Amino acid sequence: MRRARRSGFTLLEVVLASALLSAVLGAALMVVQRGKSAMAEGHLHARAEARAHRALERVVPELRGAGIDALTPAINPNGLTSTATLTFDPIIGVSGAAPLWGQPVRIARVAAPEDPNNGRDDDGDGVVDEGNLMLTRDVGGAGQAAFLLCTQVRELAEGEFANGSDDNGNGLADEAGFSIQRIGNMLTVRLSVEEAGEGGETGVASVSTSITLRN
């Protein structure tokens, strides 16, 4: 008698088919997850960039009114250093050929009260050691008032690490997330803002602009 033909699958074939199917499904799932993560990061980057641009739109008019000789700190005009805090007397008019100075104005990155600089995400928003960009009018005067321009400003500029080197290649070493650089009578303002998502993704955006000041 002829032996009956084998039907069905052996246990080994079933195991191999299951493993292959799992590998294919796992690879597909990984591609989907990466795509979702990339979309989320792109959305967060766009939000961070929009906030950074809005902040600089408020900073630039303030700095345009500053006299180049009325900056504190003076900032070396060779462009090798920068500052995260700048106080200046704005020019509000002229009397003959002499400028009329207004009350001091300060623009500065300060540590967020809820997330001090300690290397931890104290407020649990996904951004470590974030700062706020603040505008203060009438510094030291009776009418001193502070205004919040931007939140989640990075401690260091995008691409920078606290190592004494110029990691992002812009000519400055270890510059802050908000920095002002001076080359002659021109100020270059840079701002790096971070945005955190609910899934742990983060988006970073950096914007900059330059302003030429009067003597």
Kindly list the domain boundaries of the chain, sorted by start residue. 34-212
Give CA separation, 212 vs 59, 63, 198, in Å: 14, 9, 41
Residue 109: phi, psi to the nearest 5? -90, 125
Average pLDDT over residues 148-165: 94
Average pLDDT over residues 141-155: 95
What pLDDT does 5 receive?
56
What pLDDT does 36 receive?
62
Instruction: Please tell me whether the peptide bond between 73 and the residue prior to it is cis, using omega within 30 degrees of 0.
Output: yes
Assess whether pLDDT exceeds 70 at residue 2: no
> Which pairs from 29-34 meet CB under 8 Å and 24+ separation?
none
What pLDDT does 138 receive?
96
Spatial neighbors of 122 by CB under 8 A, at least 6 apart, are 114, 115, 116
What pLDDT does 6 receive?
54
Assess whether pLDDT exceeds 70 at residue 3: no
Assess whether pLDDT exceeds 80 at residue 30: no
How far is the C-alpha of 111 from the C-alpha of 133, rounded, in Å? Answer: 9
pLDDT 10s digits, 163-180: 999 999 999 999 999 999
Answer yes or no: are the C-beta atoms of 140 and 104 closer than 8 Å: yes
User: Does residue 98 or residue 215 have the better pLDDT?
Assistant: 98
pLDDT bin (cut points 50, 70, 90) of residue 200 is: confident
DSSP-derived 3-state class of residue 204: strand
Any idea how long the chain is? 215
Pairing of strands 186-196, 85-95: unpaired
